[in-house]
Amino acid sequence: QIIEIIKATSRGARVLLLDEPTSAIAEREVAHLTQVVRNLRDQGVAVLFTTHKMEEIRSMADRVVVLRDGRLITDSALTEITDDGIVTAMIGRELENLFPELGGHADEVVLQVDDLVIVPGADPISFTVRRGEILGLAGLVGAGRSELIECIYGIRRPVSGTVTVSGAVLRPGDAGSAISQHVAIVPEDRKGAGAVLSMSVLDNATLPRIGAFSRFGVITERKRRSAVGEVMSSMRLKSNGLGQHMENLSGGNQQKVVLGRWLTGTVDALLLDEPTRGVDVGARSEIYRIIVDLAAQGMAVVMASSDMPEILSLAHRSLVMREFGVAGELFARELAAPQVQDTIFRLASGLDASTTTPLDEEPQA
Protein backbone atom coordinates (compact mmCIF):
# COMPACT_ATOMS: atom_id res chain seq x y z
CA GLN A 1 0.00 0.00 0.00
CA ILE A 2 2.73 2.44 0.95
CA ILE A 3 4.68 1.72 -2.25
CA GLU A 4 1.56 2.41 -4.33
CA ILE A 5 1.03 5.71 -2.50
CA ILE A 6 4.66 6.75 -3.03
CA LYS A 7 4.40 5.80 -6.71
CA ALA A 8 1.28 7.92 -7.16
CA THR A 9 2.59 10.99 -5.34
CA SER A 10 6.00 10.83 -7.02
CA ARG A 11 4.20 11.50 -10.30
CA GLY A 12 2.89 14.77 -8.94
CA ALA A 13 -0.55 13.64 -7.81
CA ARG A 14 -2.28 16.33 -5.74
CA VAL A 15 -5.38 14.27 -4.94
CA LEU A 16 -5.02 10.79 -3.43
CA LEU A 17 -7.96 8.34 -3.25
CA LEU A 18 -7.54 5.44 -0.79
CA ASP A 19 -10.21 2.72 -0.68
CA GLU A 20 -10.01 0.68 2.56
CA PRO A 21 -6.18 0.99 2.56
CA THR A 22 -5.69 -0.88 5.86
CA SER A 23 -8.08 -3.81 5.34
CA ALA A 24 -5.33 -6.34 4.63
CA ILE A 25 -2.18 -5.06 6.35
CA ALA A 26 -0.67 -5.69 9.78
CA GLU A 27 -1.29 -3.33 12.70
CA ARG A 28 2.30 -2.04 12.75
CA GLU A 29 1.97 -1.19 9.05
CA VAL A 30 -1.24 0.73 9.77
CA ALA A 31 0.71 3.11 12.03
CA HIS A 32 3.29 3.63 9.26
CA LEU A 33 0.59 4.24 6.67
CA THR A 34 -1.12 6.74 8.98
CA GLN A 35 2.10 8.73 9.28
CA VAL A 36 2.61 8.69 5.50
CA VAL A 37 -0.92 10.04 4.95
CA ARG A 38 -0.39 12.77 7.55
CA ASN A 39 2.88 13.82 5.90
CA LEU A 40 1.21 14.03 2.49
CA ARG A 41 -1.59 16.13 3.96
CA ASP A 42 0.96 18.52 5.45
CA GLN A 43 2.58 18.80 2.01
CA GLY A 44 -0.71 19.96 0.49
CA VAL A 45 -2.01 16.69 -0.97
CA ALA A 46 -5.79 16.28 -0.70
CA VAL A 47 -6.58 12.79 0.61
CA LEU A 48 -9.92 10.99 0.40
CA PHE A 49 -10.02 7.59 2.07
CA THR A 50 -12.84 5.17 2.85
CA THR A 51 -12.78 3.14 6.04
CA HIS A 52 -15.11 1.42 8.48
CA LYS A 53 -12.71 1.82 11.41
CA MET A 54 -13.36 4.62 13.87
CA GLU A 55 -9.75 4.79 15.07
CA GLU A 56 -8.57 5.46 11.51
CA ILE A 57 -11.08 8.25 11.07
CA ARG A 58 -9.85 9.87 14.27
CA SER A 59 -6.15 9.39 13.53
CA MET A 60 -6.06 10.51 9.89
CA ALA A 61 -9.05 12.68 9.03
CA ASP A 62 -9.86 16.35 9.48
CA ARG A 63 -13.41 15.89 8.21
CA VAL A 64 -15.79 12.95 7.97
CA VAL A 65 -18.44 12.31 5.34
CA VAL A 66 -20.96 9.51 5.90
CA LEU A 67 -22.79 7.90 2.98
CA ARG A 68 -25.70 5.49 3.43
CA ASP A 69 -27.69 3.82 0.66
CA GLY A 70 -25.98 6.05 -1.88
CA ARG A 71 -26.94 9.29 -0.13
CA LEU A 72 -24.96 11.89 1.79
CA ILE A 73 -25.96 11.67 5.47
CA THR A 74 -23.46 13.96 7.15
CA ASP A 75 -20.43 16.11 6.34
CA SER A 76 -18.79 17.31 9.56
CA ALA A 77 -15.49 18.43 10.97
CA LEU A 78 -14.20 15.80 13.40
CA THR A 79 -14.20 18.40 16.16
CA GLU A 80 -17.97 18.77 15.73
CA ILE A 81 -19.13 15.14 15.83
CA THR A 82 -18.79 12.31 18.35
CA ASP A 83 -18.03 8.66 17.62
CA ASP A 84 -21.63 7.80 18.53
CA GLY A 85 -22.82 10.45 16.09
CA ILE A 86 -20.76 8.91 13.29
CA VAL A 87 -22.08 5.42 14.04
CA THR A 88 -25.68 6.64 14.17
CA ALA A 89 -25.22 8.35 10.79
CA MET A 90 -23.73 5.16 9.31
CA ILE A 91 -26.47 2.75 10.37
CA GLY A 92 -29.48 5.05 10.72
CA ARG A 93 -30.09 4.15 14.35
CA GLU A 94 -28.29 4.19 17.66
CA LEU A 95 -26.10 1.17 18.31
CA GLU A 96 -26.52 0.31 21.96
CA ASN A 97 -25.13 -3.20 22.18
CA LEU A 98 -22.73 -4.18 19.42
CA PHE A 99 -22.17 -7.70 20.73
CA PRO A 100 -25.11 -9.97 21.65
CA GLU A 101 -25.04 -11.98 24.84
CA LEU A 102 -23.42 -15.41 24.55
CA GLY A 103 -25.46 -18.45 25.50
CA GLY A 104 -24.21 -21.69 26.99
CA HIS A 105 -23.05 -24.76 25.11
CA ALA A 106 -23.51 -28.52 25.36
CA ASP A 107 -20.89 -31.09 26.38
CA GLU A 108 -21.15 -33.01 23.09
CA VAL A 109 -17.97 -32.73 21.02
CA VAL A 110 -18.71 -31.93 17.38
CA LEU A 111 -15.26 -31.01 16.03
CA GLN A 112 -12.10 -32.76 17.17
CA VAL A 113 -8.60 -31.94 15.89
CA ASP A 114 -5.82 -34.36 16.83
CA ASP A 115 -2.09 -33.72 16.34
CA LEU A 116 -2.66 -31.60 13.24
CA VAL A 117 0.60 -30.28 11.76
CA ILE A 118 -0.32 -27.60 9.24
CA VAL A 119 3.16 -26.81 7.86
CA PRO A 120 6.45 -28.75 8.06
CA GLY A 121 8.25 -28.18 11.35
CA ALA A 122 5.26 -26.74 13.20
CA ASP A 123 4.04 -28.09 16.52
CA PRO A 124 1.00 -30.40 16.36
CA ILE A 125 -2.36 -28.85 17.22
CA SER A 126 -5.10 -30.62 19.19
CA PHE A 127 -8.42 -29.23 20.42
CA THR A 128 -12.16 -29.91 20.52
CA VAL A 129 -15.20 -27.71 19.92
CA ARG A 130 -18.51 -28.60 21.51
CA ARG A 131 -22.02 -28.13 20.21
CA GLY A 132 -23.06 -24.51 20.65
CA GLU A 133 -19.53 -23.35 21.47
CA ILE A 134 -17.64 -20.52 19.73
CA LEU A 135 -13.86 -21.06 19.73
CA GLY A 136 -11.79 -17.99 18.86
CA LEU A 137 -8.46 -18.11 17.03
CA ALA A 138 -6.28 -15.12 17.97
CA GLY A 139 -2.72 -14.25 16.98
CA LEU A 140 -0.61 -11.93 14.89
CA VAL A 141 -0.78 -11.77 11.09
CA GLY A 142 0.95 -14.87 9.68
CA ALA A 143 0.51 -16.95 12.84
CA GLY A 144 -1.35 -19.68 10.95
CA ARG A 145 -5.00 -19.04 11.75
CA SER A 146 -6.18 -19.15 8.13
CA GLU A 147 -3.98 -22.15 7.39
CA LEU A 148 -5.50 -24.04 10.32
CA ILE A 149 -9.04 -23.36 9.10
CA GLU A 150 -8.08 -24.40 5.57
CA CYS A 151 -6.58 -27.66 6.85
CA ILE A 152 -9.70 -28.44 8.86
CA TYR A 153 -11.93 -27.81 5.86
CA GLY A 154 -9.71 -29.68 3.41
CA ILE A 155 -8.70 -26.95 0.97
CA ARG A 156 -5.16 -27.27 2.35
CA ARG A 157 -3.58 -30.65 3.05
CA PRO A 158 -1.94 -30.91 6.49
CA VAL A 159 1.43 -32.57 7.04
CA SER A 160 -0.16 -35.01 9.49
CA GLY A 161 -2.98 -35.36 12.00
CA THR A 162 -6.72 -35.98 11.85
CA VAL A 163 -9.93 -33.96 11.90
CA THR A 164 -13.10 -35.62 13.16
CA VAL A 165 -16.62 -34.22 12.84
CA SER A 166 -19.49 -35.89 14.70
CA GLY A 167 -17.46 -39.09 14.95
CA ALA A 168 -16.45 -39.26 11.27
CA VAL A 169 -12.79 -38.76 10.29
CA LEU A 170 -12.44 -36.33 7.38
CA ARG A 171 -10.17 -37.18 4.46
CA PRO A 172 -7.14 -34.84 4.51
CA GLY A 173 -7.08 -32.28 1.74
CA ASP A 174 -10.62 -33.12 0.61
CA ALA A 175 -13.19 -30.34 0.99
CA GLY A 176 -15.88 -32.67 -0.35
CA SER A 177 -15.37 -34.86 2.70
CA ALA A 178 -15.93 -31.86 4.96
CA ILE A 179 -19.05 -30.77 3.10
CA SER A 180 -20.51 -34.28 3.32
CA GLN A 181 -20.06 -34.14 7.10
CA HIS A 182 -21.87 -30.79 7.30
CA VAL A 183 -18.86 -28.50 7.69
CA ALA A 184 -19.26 -24.95 6.34
CA ILE A 185 -16.67 -22.24 5.76
CA VAL A 186 -16.62 -18.47 5.31
CA PRO A 187 -13.13 -17.73 3.91
CA GLU A 188 -11.01 -14.68 4.65
CA ASP A 189 -10.98 -13.49 1.03
CA ARG A 190 -14.68 -12.91 0.51
CA LYS A 191 -14.38 -11.55 -3.03
CA GLY A 192 -11.70 -13.95 -4.26
CA ALA A 193 -12.67 -17.22 -2.58
CA GLY A 194 -16.08 -16.69 -0.99
CA ALA A 195 -18.26 -15.42 -3.81
CA VAL A 196 -18.54 -15.18 -7.59
CA LEU A 197 -19.21 -11.46 -7.91
CA SER A 198 -20.49 -11.65 -11.49
CA MET A 199 -23.23 -14.10 -10.47
CA SER A 200 -26.53 -13.41 -8.72
CA VAL A 201 -27.37 -13.74 -5.05
CA LEU A 202 -29.47 -16.80 -5.90
CA ASP A 203 -26.69 -18.56 -7.80
CA ASN A 204 -24.08 -17.79 -5.14
CA ALA A 205 -26.41 -18.99 -2.40
CA THR A 206 -26.86 -22.40 -4.03
CA LEU A 207 -23.30 -23.10 -5.21
CA PRO A 208 -22.34 -25.49 -2.37
CA ARG A 209 -25.62 -27.43 -2.46
CA ILE A 210 -26.77 -27.31 -6.07
CA GLY A 211 -27.52 -31.04 -5.96
CA ALA A 212 -30.08 -30.50 -3.21
CA PHE A 213 -32.12 -28.35 -5.59
CA SER A 214 -31.89 -30.65 -8.61
CA ARG A 215 -33.97 -33.56 -9.81
CA PHE A 216 -32.56 -35.82 -12.53
CA GLY A 217 -29.96 -33.16 -13.29
CA VAL A 218 -32.50 -30.35 -13.67
CA ILE A 219 -32.65 -27.52 -11.12
CA THR A 220 -36.02 -27.15 -9.38
CA GLU A 221 -36.24 -23.38 -9.53
CA ARG A 222 -39.22 -22.93 -7.21
CA LYS A 223 -37.64 -25.04 -4.47
CA ARG A 224 -34.33 -23.21 -4.85
CA ARG A 225 -35.88 -19.75 -4.69
CA SER A 226 -38.03 -20.66 -1.71
CA ALA A 227 -35.13 -22.06 0.34
CA VAL A 228 -32.72 -19.23 -0.48
CA GLY A 229 -35.36 -16.56 0.01
CA GLU A 230 -36.22 -17.86 3.46
CA VAL A 231 -32.58 -17.93 4.57
CA MET A 232 -31.76 -14.49 3.18
CA SER A 233 -34.83 -13.07 4.88
CA SER A 234 -33.63 -14.44 8.22
CA MET A 235 -30.21 -12.88 7.51
CA ARG A 236 -31.89 -9.50 6.87
CA LEU A 237 -30.20 -9.26 3.48
CA LYS A 238 -30.56 -5.84 1.86
CA SER A 239 -30.76 -6.31 -1.90
CA ASN A 240 -32.97 -5.68 -4.91
CA GLY A 241 -33.93 -9.35 -4.99
CA LEU A 242 -32.30 -12.73 -5.48
CA GLY A 243 -31.39 -11.83 -9.05
CA GLN A 244 -29.11 -8.94 -8.06
CA HIS A 245 -25.43 -9.48 -8.83
CA MET A 246 -23.12 -9.89 -5.85
CA GLU A 247 -20.79 -7.15 -7.11
CA ASN A 248 -23.55 -4.60 -6.53
CA LEU A 249 -24.03 -5.49 -2.85
CA SER A 250 -22.23 -3.87 0.07
CA GLY A 251 -19.47 -5.83 1.80
CA GLY A 252 -21.76 -6.68 4.69
CA ASN A 253 -24.50 -8.03 2.45
CA GLN A 254 -21.99 -10.01 0.40
CA GLN A 255 -20.81 -11.61 3.63
CA LYS A 256 -24.38 -12.47 4.60
CA VAL A 257 -24.79 -14.36 1.32
CA VAL A 258 -21.47 -16.21 1.74
CA LEU A 259 -22.51 -17.28 5.24
CA GLY A 260 -26.21 -17.79 4.57
CA ARG A 261 -25.77 -20.09 1.58
CA TRP A 262 -24.79 -22.92 3.92
CA LEU A 263 -27.96 -22.54 5.95
CA THR A 264 -30.19 -24.05 3.26
CA GLY A 265 -28.97 -27.38 4.66
CA THR A 266 -27.58 -28.89 7.85
CA VAL A 267 -24.41 -27.40 9.37
CA ASP A 268 -22.68 -29.03 12.35
CA ALA A 269 -19.34 -27.16 12.27
CA LEU A 270 -18.93 -23.59 11.03
CA LEU A 271 -15.48 -22.17 10.19
CA LEU A 272 -15.24 -18.36 10.05
CA ASP A 273 -12.08 -16.61 8.87
CA GLU A 274 -12.16 -12.84 9.54
CA PRO A 275 -15.99 -12.77 9.29
CA THR A 276 -16.32 -8.96 9.48
CA ARG A 277 -13.32 -7.77 7.47
CA GLY A 278 -14.30 -4.84 5.25
CA VAL A 279 -17.79 -4.66 6.79
CA ASP A 280 -19.39 -1.50 8.21
CA VAL A 281 -20.35 -1.25 11.87
CA GLY A 282 -24.07 -1.74 11.27
CA ALA A 283 -23.55 -4.95 9.29
CA ARG A 284 -21.02 -6.10 11.90
CA SER A 285 -23.70 -5.94 14.56
CA GLU A 286 -26.00 -8.09 12.42
CA ILE A 287 -23.25 -10.60 11.61
CA TYR A 288 -22.42 -10.91 15.32
CA ARG A 289 -26.09 -11.63 16.00
CA ILE A 290 -26.14 -14.28 13.28
CA ILE A 291 -23.00 -16.00 14.61
CA VAL A 292 -24.35 -16.14 18.17
CA ASP A 293 -27.75 -17.36 16.92
CA LEU A 294 -26.14 -20.15 14.88
CA ALA A 295 -24.13 -21.29 17.89
CA ALA A 296 -27.33 -21.26 19.96
CA GLN A 297 -28.89 -23.54 17.34
CA GLY A 298 -26.16 -26.10 18.06
CA MET A 299 -23.36 -25.39 15.61
CA ALA A 300 -19.75 -25.74 16.72
CA VAL A 301 -18.09 -22.50 15.58
CA VAL A 302 -14.40 -21.75 14.99
CA MET A 303 -13.76 -18.04 14.41
CA ALA A 304 -10.40 -16.58 13.39
CA SER A 305 -10.23 -12.81 13.87
CA SER A 306 -7.68 -10.01 14.02
CA ASP A 307 -10.27 -7.84 15.77
CA MET A 308 -9.57 -8.21 19.48
CA PRO A 309 -13.06 -7.14 20.67
CA GLU A 310 -14.57 -9.91 18.52
CA ILE A 311 -12.43 -12.54 20.22
CA LEU A 312 -13.12 -11.17 23.70
CA SER A 313 -16.87 -10.70 23.21
CA LEU A 314 -17.94 -13.57 20.93
CA ALA A 315 -15.77 -16.53 21.98
CA HIS A 316 -16.47 -18.91 24.85
CA ARG A 317 -12.72 -19.59 24.81
CA SER A 318 -9.82 -18.80 22.53
CA LEU A 319 -6.62 -20.33 21.21
CA VAL A 320 -3.70 -17.96 20.66
CA MET A 321 -1.61 -19.01 17.67
CA ARG A 322 2.07 -18.40 16.94
CA GLU A 323 4.28 -19.89 14.21
CA PHE A 324 1.53 -22.26 13.01
CA GLY A 325 1.04 -23.76 16.46
CA VAL A 326 -0.97 -22.98 19.59
CA ALA A 327 0.86 -20.78 22.10
CA GLY A 328 -1.89 -20.70 24.70
CA GLU A 329 -5.55 -21.19 25.49
CA LEU A 330 -7.79 -18.72 27.30
CA PHE A 331 -11.09 -19.66 28.90
CA ALA A 332 -14.03 -17.40 29.73
CA ARG A 333 -12.50 -16.15 32.97
CA GLU A 334 -9.24 -15.12 31.28
CA LEU A 335 -11.07 -13.49 28.35
CA ALA A 336 -12.92 -11.27 30.83
CA ALA A 337 -9.77 -10.26 32.74
CA PRO A 338 -8.58 -6.62 32.50
CA GLN A 339 -5.09 -7.66 31.30
CA VAL A 340 -6.31 -10.11 28.66
CA GLN A 341 -5.16 -8.10 25.63
CA ASP A 342 -1.64 -7.92 27.05
CA THR A 343 -1.75 -11.66 27.74
CA ILE A 344 -2.82 -12.45 24.18
CA PHE A 345 -0.12 -10.19 22.73
CA ARG A 346 2.58 -11.77 24.87
CA LEU A 347 1.50 -15.28 23.91
CA ALA A 348 1.31 -14.35 20.23
CA SER A 349 4.77 -12.75 20.39
CA GLY A 350 6.48 -15.62 22.22
CA LEU A 351 6.92 -13.63 25.43
CA ASP A 352 6.28 -14.87 28.96
CA ALA A 353 2.59 -14.75 29.88
CA SER A 354 2.45 -15.98 33.45
CA THR A 355 -1.27 -15.26 33.77
CA THR A 356 -2.20 -17.72 31.04
CA THR A 357 -3.94 -20.92 32.06
CA PRO A 358 -2.13 -24.10 30.93
CA LEU A 359 -3.65 -25.80 27.91
CA ASP A 360 -4.67 -28.90 29.82
CA GLU A 361 -6.28 -27.09 32.74
CA GLU A 362 -9.70 -25.44 32.50
CA PRO A 363 -10.42 -22.97 35.28
CA GLN A 364 -13.13 -23.83 37.78
CA ALA A 365 -16.24 -21.69 37.95
Asked if residues 159 and 143 have their Cβ atoms less than 8 Å apart, the reply is no
Residue 143 sits in the same domain as residue 36: no
Selection from 274, 314, 277 nearest residue 105 by Cα = 314
The total number of structural domains in the chain stands at 2
Range of the domain at 306: 109-349
At 361, is the pLDDT very low, low, confident or very high (cuts 50, 70, 90)? very low
Residue 358 lies in a domain: no
The pLDDT of residue 365: 38
More confident residue, 105 or 363: 105
Do 86 and 131 have their domain in common?
A: no
The answer to whether residue 230 scores a pLDDT higher than 70 is yes
Reported as a pLDDT band with limits 50, 70 and 90, residue 355 is: very low
Task: Identify the band that residue 218 occupies on the pLDDT scale cut at 50, 70 and 90.
Answer: confident
* Domain finish residue from 38, 63, 91: 91
**What would the mean pLDDT of 199-223 be, rounded to a whole number?**
88
Is there a contact between 301 and 100 (Cβ–Cβ < 8 Å)?
Answer: no
pLDDT for position 354: 67
Q: Which residues contact 241 (CB under 8 A, 6 or more apart)?
A: 201
In a domain, 356, yes or no: no
**What pLDDT digit, counting tens, does each position of 232-267 carry?**
999 999 999 999 999 999 889 999 999 999 999 999
- Residues 145, 177, single domain; the answer is yes
Please answer whether residues 258 and 204 qualify as being in contact, where contact means their C-beta atoms are separated by less than 8 angstroms: yes
Residues 72 and 6 in one domain: yes
CATH of the domain at 166: 3.40.50.300
Count Cβ atoms below 10 Å from residue 335 Cβ, excluding itself: 20
DSSP H or E stretch at residue 114: strand 109-117
**Calpha distance 158→144 (Å, rounded):** 12
Asked if 113 and 190 sit in the same domain, the reply is yes
Q: Which of 83-87, 161-165, 190-194, 218-222 has the lowest mean pLDDT?
A: 83-87
More confident position, 6 or 133: 133
60/136 same-domain check: no
268 and 205 within one domain: yes
Candidates 297, 295, 294, 349; CA nearest to 320 is 349
pLDDT at 302: 98
87 with 113, same domain: the answer is: no
87 and 166 in a single domain? The answer is no
Q: What are the beta bridge partners of residue 320?
A: 138, 328
Tell me the per-residue pLDDT of 61-76, one tens digit each, with 9 for 90 and over: 999 999 876 789 999 9
Does residue 354 fall inside a structural domain? no
Identify residue 156 by its one-letter amino acid code. R
pLDDT tens across 147-175, in order?
A: 999 999 999 999 999 999 999 999 999 99
DSSP SS3 for 330: strand
Pairing assessment for the beta strands 300-304 and 269-273 based on DSSP bridges: parallel
Q: Residue range 6-21: average pLDDT?
A: 80
